[in-house]
Amino acid sequence: MTGRRVLSVLALGLGMTAALLWVLTRMPVEVQADSTTLYVSGKGGSDGGILDPNNCTNVYKPCKTIQHAVDEATRGGRIFVTGGTYSDVHEREGVTQVVYLHRSVTIRGGYDFDFSEWDPARHATILNAEEQGRVVYITEGVTPTLEALSLTDGKVTASGGGLYAASSSPRIDGCRIYSNTAGWYGGGVFLNETAGAVLRDSAIHDNRADAAGGGVSISYGTDVTLTDNDVHENHAHSGDGGGVQIRHVPSATLTDNSVSSNTAGGYGGGVYIYDSDHMVLEDNVICANACGWSGGGLSTGSIVTLIGNEIYSNTADGAGGGVDLRGNDHATLVDNEIYSNTASSGGGVNTFNSPGIALVDNAIHHNTATTSSGGGIRATFTRLTVTRDAILNNTSTDGGGGLFAYGSAVGLVNSIVAGNQITGTGAGIWAADTRVTLLHTTLACNEGGDGSGIWLKWSSVVSSMNTILVGHTLGITAAEGTTVTTEATLWGSGAWANGTDWTGEGAVATGTVNVWGDPLFVDPASGDYHIGPGAAAGAGVDAGVTEDIDGDSRPAPTGTNPDIGADEVAQCRVALPLVLRDL
Ligand SMILES: [Ca+2]
Ligand SMILES: [Ca+2]
């Protein structure tokens, strides 16, 4: 055989293999019987008698109950279950449930009557405890998988109405867990001291816990992963975490979940995380949740990282409509959008007694504090850094339409506080007993109440470099005992002039660079506070900030003064004709 012919035969073979693979991947799922697969059919199956038990391995002779198949299964076996409702409830080892899962098996629902097709949408396998006990109880030391099962109407006075797992490593995939009730934690799911538990691609809804964790409760254990779940309309009656409660878990990851319309009597309408470090919440949608205390969307006192989440339309009777952070050593919020949340105080974000909160690249807008302070952010006894954030169009009744700070240290860099509204004092920033550092910050057009862009009392100290402070009734109101030091401030002119640039009994020193001019914002009505061509912002001083709110290099062009405010632009206004003339 010539080399070319070998190649052509090889190519033909590869092509046929690829074609075969293509055909196979598009064929209905066929089920091959083997010795490790057990079959259950509620309608046509039989568990057999004492003298003639059915071991469930014959696809033509399926067992009747899932429990019998579990008892017959060896470690690692698979149990395939036809569509239908399974409501047989058993008492074993002092607990009562549909399935007592003491083997490391996979239970997969969604098959048709003869196991020739797997389609969970057409052949729903429903495990219904009819409120006579739990639906599934997983014993210690096993690694089972539940796939394409519906778990419903579980009811227990303890924890885990739908599913209970302790000291095991369960994997729950493509399940629907709904309308279960627990007298304590975890109306739908309770994972206690699990290792590497995975809950993914599942719907957990309309469950109730009398205490905490309406949908899911995770206690102790390690490496918990929740991915692509839809957790909605669960209820934690007296405690925390309407959708999800996590406590004492050293590491957990929540990614791409939707947590919506859950309610909690305590903290965290959507999610509550307590005493748990290395928490990562990424790309989740947390919306329309509500709670009786703080953290309508999320409440946590742990070391958390929130990246790319969308947190909106949540409500808290207490503080923190969107996010409530309390006692956090380290909480980092990056690239989240937190909007249209409502709380008594801290409409968007509430931080309390937290020495390390970092906000980076977030948009916090259209949040409301209904009765107290901090429309966008409320910080109490907190060390807070705000970098490249936009705090826009939030509303508060008193103390800080955009930001309220008390007993705190707050640093804003390359951030915008604009268009916020208030009926009391401090339309933009309100600070008492707080050190505020502003570097390249844009404060514009915060309105209502006394109309102050920045309002200070009780020993507050403000240090500002390169701040745009325009469009206010009062730029800075500094009460007696406060200290303000500014350098390189653009105070606004014309339509952007402040009624009064600074006022009050405090000590105000405005440095050597003060510009009264127009920032020429690009489209402030739409929240675009980039400076336009010809803006009077080019006389900034070096504050050691080498990028702007967009990540553009600062200063631009190199060798010029940086622009005042959060935005840097590279236009060469006055300098260019001078250079040309010198040429
Ligand atoms: Ca820029
Ligand atoms: Ca510039």
CA distance 340 to 182: 32
CA distance 480 to 350: 27
Q: Give residue-wise pLDDT tens across range 306-320.
A: 999 999 999 999 999
Give the distance (Å) from ligand 2 centre to CA of residue 95.
Answer: 71
Give the distance (Å) from ligand 1 centre to CA of residue 569.
Answer: 5
247-267 as b/e, with b when 16 or more CB fall inside 10 Å?
A: bebbebebbebbbbbbbbbbb
Give the distance (Å) from ligand 2 centre to CA of residue 492.
Answer: 18
Look at residue 559 and give its three-state secondary structure.
coil
Q: Among the listed ranges 49-63, 114-128, 418-432, which one has the minimum average pLDDT value? A: 49-63
Give the pLDDT score at 575. 38
Q: Has residue 516 been placed in a domain?
A: yes
CA distance 293 to 265: 7
Give the distance (Å) from ligand 2 centre to CA of residue 572.
Answer: 7
Q: Has residue 579 been placed in a domain?
A: yes
What separation in angstroms does the CA of 377 have from each of 5, 304, 401?
73, 18, 8
The HSE-up count of residue 127 (CA atoms within 13 Å, CB side) is 36
Give the distance (Å) from ligand 2 centre to CA of residue 531.
Answer: 10
> How many other CB atoms sit within 10 Å of the CB of residue 232?
22
Identify which of 49, 51, 52, 55 has the alpha carbon closest to the alpha carbon of residue 36.
Answer: 55
- DSSP letter at 428 equals S
Backbone angles phi, psi at 135, to 5 degrees: -85, -50
> How many other CB atoms sit within 10 Å of the CB of residue 143?
18
Give the pLDDT score at 236. 98
Q: Give residue-wise pLDDT tens across range 348-378.
A: 999 999 999 999 999 999 999 999 999 999 9
Q: Has residue 392 been placed in a domain?
A: yes
Give the pLDDT score at 339. 98
Give the distance (Å) from ligand 2 centre to CA of residue 468.
Answer: 14
The total of structural domains in the chain comes to 1
Q: Has residue 330 been placed in a domain?
A: no
CA distance 112 to 44: 12
> How many other CB atoms sit within 10 Å of the CB of residue 506?
21
CA distance 29 to 526: 52
Say if residue 21's pLDDT is above 90: no
Say if residue 28's pLDDT is above 70: no
Say if residue 105's pLDDT is above 90: yes
Q: Has residue 14 been placed in a domain?
A: no
Give the distance (Å) from ligand 2 centre to CA of residue 488.
Answer: 14
Q: Has residue 561 been placed in a domain?
A: yes
Q: What is the mean pLDDT of residues 441-468?
A: 97
Give the distance (Å) from ligand 1 centre to CA of residue 563.
Answer: 10
Taking the CA of 536 as reference, the closest ligand is 2
The one-letter code for the residue type at 74 is T
* Both tokens assigned to 201: 């691609």
Please provide the average confidence, as pLDDT, over all residues in the chain. 92
Q: Has residue 458 been placed in a domain?
A: yes
Give the distance (Å) from ligand 1 centre to CA of residue 549.
Answer: 6
Say if residue 538's pLDDT is above 60: yes
Q: Give residue-wise pLDDT tens across range 46-66.
A: 999 888 889 999 999 999 999
Look at residue 272 and give its three-state secondary structure.
strand
Give the pLDDT score at 75. 72
β-pair type (528-531, 521-523): antiparallel
Give the distance (Å) from ligand 2 centre to CA of residue 448.
Answer: 32
Q: Has residue 551 been placed in a domain?
A: yes
> How many other CB atoms sit within 10 Å of the CB of residue 367?
34
* Both tokens assigned to 229: 């779940």
Give the pLDDT score at 76. 77
Q: Is the peptide bond before 355 cis (omega within 30 degrees of 0)?
A: no
CA distance 140 to 147: 20
Higher per-residue confidence, 17 vs 284: 284
β-pair type (342-345, 368-369): parallel
Q: Do the beta carbons of residue 318 and residue 294 sit within 8 Å?
A: yes
CA distance 329 to 523: 38
Give the distance (Å) from ligand 2 centre to CA of residue 194.
Answer: 55
Taking the CA of 561 as reference, the closest ligand is 2
* Both tokens assigned to 66: 């899932």
Give the pLDDT score at 245. 98
Give the distance (Å) from ligand 1 centre to CA of residue 215.
Answer: 44
Say if residue 225's pLDDT is above 80: yes
Give the distance (Å) from ligand 2 centre to CA of residue 567.
Answer: 9
Give the distance (Å) from ligand 2 centre to CA of residue 138.
Answer: 63
Give the distance (Å) from ligand 2 centre to CA of residue 441.
Answer: 15
What separation in angstroms does the CA of 439 have from each of 207, 376, 524?
48, 19, 21
Give the pLDDT score at 397. 95
Partners of residue 83 on adjacent β-strands: none
CA distance 65 to 56: 10
Taking the CA of 572 as reference, the closest ligand is 2
Taking the CA of 571 as reference, the closest ligand is 2
Cα 308 to the chain's mean position, in Å? 8
What separation in angstroms does the CA of 259 have from each of 118, 254, 270, 350, 496?
29, 11, 6, 20, 42
Q: Give residue-wise pLDDT tens across range 290-341.
A: 999 999 999 999 899 999 999 999 999 999 999 999 988 789 999 999 999 9
The one-letter code for the residue type at 143 is T
Give the pLDDT score at 186. 98
Say if residue 6's pLDDT is above 50: no
Look at residue 525 and give its three-state secondary structure.
helix
Maximum C-alpha span of the chain: 108
Q: Do the beta carbons of residue 312 and residue 287 sit within 8 Å?
A: yes
Q: Among the listed ranges 4-8, 298-302, 437-441, which one has the minimum average pLDDT value? A: 4-8
Question: Domain range for residue 454?
Answer: 373-583
Give the distance (Å) from ligand 2 centre to CA of residue 540.
Answer: 9
* Both tokens assigned to 177: 């867990």
Q: Give residue-wise pLDDT tens across range 383-412.
A: 999 999 999 999 999 999 999 999 999 999
Q: Give residue-wise pLDDT tens across range 181-216.
A: 999 999 999 999 999 999 999 999 999 999 999 999
- Helix, strand, coil percentages (3-state) for the chain, rounded to 5, are 10, 45, 50
Q: How confident is the model at residue 178 (pLDDT cuts 50, 70, 90)?
A: very high
